[in-house]
Amino acid sequence: MRRQGLQLDLREFMSVRRAYNIVRQRVGSDERLTFEEYAILCRLEFSNEPMKTSDIAEYQGALRPTMTHRTNHLASLGLIERAEGASDRRNVVCSITPAGSERLRELSALTRAQIPAGRSLSRTSPDRISKYVDAMGSLFCKAGDLVLLGLYAADGEPLTIMQVVDALGLLQPTVSMSVSALVERGQAVRDRGAAGAHTTSVALTPEGRRAAEDIVGRIEGLVVRRKLRGSRKALSAAEADAPVA
């Protein structure tokens, strides 16, 4: 454990991403947030002042047009406010609204509820889920990256498409397209099993395993801080020091 917080591990990362993927599917398309947009709400909630769009882009490693699209979407839903900077009108600054704080609490509670008993973070609080999402928001993972991680977490055992769907909480078409892309890149192989069985299994190739290990290394470099500076809703000392499952 580092003094400033807790290092993520793959199991925690996968628990949160799987749970939020399930939550996101159950929200109407006009209200749906990407994981990155959810993370922006977390970062703004734990900030003690408005943040420049450029700083949010740096936090997420995103290009400015991408960040403009994300913040515009959040603003259109009334979850954040965008305004010109006080010292430089070219700098757009963002702050979370009361509606954004409420949506954040709702999403974190729903995400927590989708982590089954026995999985990593199944006993943590929604507030801690928000802090995990804040940390995870700095690592962008496409669907294909998540499929790589899901296969990697199987410890070399081939998985069927539906097993990958269950492991990640993604839709079956998304998983199937991602697997096809991984196969084309030489990072995964399909196996129809003995005597041409109808069920197709998928496993990583050595190249795919190396790609997954690179992502795992970046996950393990993320830190969930116990108490973010300037948090408007700081935890009590007892809750902040509570062990994380």
- Has residue 240 been placed in a domain? no
- Has residue 241 been placed in a domain? no
Average pLDDT, the chain: 88
Per-residue model confidence (pLDDT) at position 244: 38
On whether both 105 and 180 belong to a single domain, the answer is no
On whether both 127 and 164 belong to a single domain, the answer is no
- Has residue 236 been placed in a domain? no
Range of the domain at 204: 143-219
On whether both 168 and 50 belong to a single domain, the answer is no
Question: Once rounded to an integer, what is the mean pLDDT over residues 65-89?
Answer: 87
Residues 6+ apart with CB under 8 A from 68: 53
Q: Using the predicted structure, report yes or no on whether residue 230 has a pLDDT greater than 50.
A: no
Helical segments of the chain, H only: 10-25, 35-45, 53-60, 64-76, 98-113, 126-136, 143-152, 161-168, 172-184, 206-219, 237-240
Q: Which residue has the higher pLDDT, 4 or 140?
A: 140
Domains held by the chain: number: 2
- Has residue 13 been placed in a domain? yes
On whether both 130 and 14 belong to a single domain, the answer is yes
On whether both 150 and 100 belong to a single domain, the answer is no
Per-residue model confidence (pLDDT) at position 62: 95
On whether both 56 and 149 belong to a single domain, the answer is no
Q: Using the predicted structure, report yes or no on whether residue 237 has a pLDDT greater than 80.
A: no
On whether both 209 and 155 belong to a single domain, the answer is yes
- pLDDT tens digits for range 182-226: 999 999 999 876 445 567 899 999 999 999 999 999 999 999 977
On whether both 136 and 155 belong to a single domain, the answer is no
Q: Which residue has the higher pLDDT, 33 or 31?
A: 33
- Has residue 233 been placed in a domain? no
| Residue 156 backbone class (left: φ over 0; alpha: ψ -120 to 50; beta: rest) | left
In this structure, what CATH number is given to the domain that contains residue 100?
Answer: 1.10.10.10
Distance of alpha carbon 13 from alpha carbon 89, whole angstroms: 38
On whether both 15 and 67 belong to a single domain, the answer is yes
Q: Which residue has the higher pLDDT, 227 or 162?
A: 162
Name which of 169, 203, 170, 167 is nearest 188 in CA terms: 203
On whether both 28 and 116 belong to a single domain, the answer is yes
On whether both 64 and 110 belong to a single domain, the answer is yes
On whether both 131 and 23 belong to a single domain, the answer is yes
From 108, 140, 172, give the residue that closes a domain.
Answer: 140
- Has residue 59 been placed in a domain? yes
